[in-house]
Amino acid sequence: MAVRTVLGLVTTVVALAIAGCRVLYLYRMATAGQPAEPERTIGGAARTLGSVVRAEVAEGLVQRRLLQWTVPGLARLAAFAIIRWRNTPQTLGRRSRFFGSHLDAAWLVLFMIFNVVSTLLLYRGAQIDTGYVRFERGAYASDAVARVLAPPGRDANTVIEHVGVLLAIGVVFGFLVLVVHSKHLHIFTAPLDVAFARRRSDAAGAQGVPGALGALQPVYSGGRPVDFEDPGEDDLLGRGTIADFTWKGVLDLLSCTECGRCQSQCPAWNTGKPLSPKLLVMGLRDHALARAPYALAADDQARAALPEAVRAEGARPLVGAPDADEAERAVVPFDVLWSCTTCGACVNQCPVDIEHLDHIVGMRRYQTLVEGAFPAEAEVMLRNLEHAGDPWGRGASARAEWMTGLAFEVPVFGANGEERPPDDVEYLFWVGCAGVLDDKAQNDKAQNTSRAVATLVHRAGVRYRVLGAGDLGRPDQIFAPPREVLGAVPGTRVVEMARSGERSFCCGAGGARMWMDETIGERINTHRAREALDLTPDLVAAACPFCIVMLTDGVRAVDAENGADAAADPSVEVTDIAEVLLRACAPAVPHTLEGTAR
Ligand code: SF4
Ligand code: SF4
Domain boundaries, the chain: 22-47+193-209+238-371, 107-181, 396-594
pLDDT of residue 588: 43
Ligand 1 centroid–CA 525 distance in Å is: 15
Q: Write down the mean pLDDT value for the chain.
A: 85
Do residues 277 and 346 make contact, with C-beta atoms less than 8 angstroms apart?
A: yes
Residue 349 CA: nearest ligand 1 atom is 7
The CA distance from 505 to 343, in Å, is 8
The CA distance from 99 to 263, in Å, is 9
The CA distance from 390 to 509, in Å, is 15
pLDDT-flagged residues of the chain (< 70): 41-48, 59-85, 203, 324, 326-328, 439-444, 464, 466-472, 586-598
Ligand 2 centroid–CA 279 distance in Å is: 9
pLDDT of residue 464: 64
Residue 354: nearest ligand to its CA?
2
Nearest Cα to 113, choosing from 56, 60, 187, 59?
187
pLDDT of residue 135: 73
Ligand 2 centroid–CA 154 distance in Å is: 50
Q: What residues does ligand 1 touch, defined as CB less than 6 Å away?
A: 265-268, 275, 277, 340-346, 356-357
Ligand 1 centroid–CA 346 distance in Å is: 6
Name the residue of 336, 349, 354, 357 whose CB sits within 8 Å of the most ligand 1 atoms, as the mutation to test its pocket: 357
Ligand 1 centroid–CA 269 distance in Å is: 8
Ligand 1 centroid–CA 367 distance in Å is: 18
What residue's CA is closest to ligand 1, atom 4? Answer: 340
Ligand 1 centroid–CA 281 distance in Å is: 12
pLDDT of residue 468: 42
pLDDT of residue 59: 67
Nearest Cα to 518, choosing from 545, 557, 576?
557
Residue 276: nearest ligand to its CA?
1
Helix ranges (H only) for 344-479 are: 345-349, 356-366, 378-388, 434-437, 445-460, 473-476
Name the residue of 194, 261, 348, 358 whose CB sits within 8 Å of the most ligand 2 atoms, as the mutation to test its pocket: 261
pLDDT of residue 69: 46
Name the residue of 80, 187, 257 whose CB sits within 8 Å of the most ligand 2 atoms, as the mutation to test its pocket: 257
Do residues 527 and 267 make contact, with C-beta atoms less than 8 angstroms apart?
A: yes
pLDDT of residue 595: 41
pLDDT of residue 433: 84
Do residues 63 and 70 make contact, with C-beta atoms less than 8 angstroms apart?
A: no
Residue 286, Cα to own-chain centre: how many angstroms?
19
**pLDDT tens column, 330-375:** 999 999 999 999 999 999 999 999 999 999 999 999 999 999 999 9
What residue's CA is closest to ligand 2, atom 6? Answer: 256
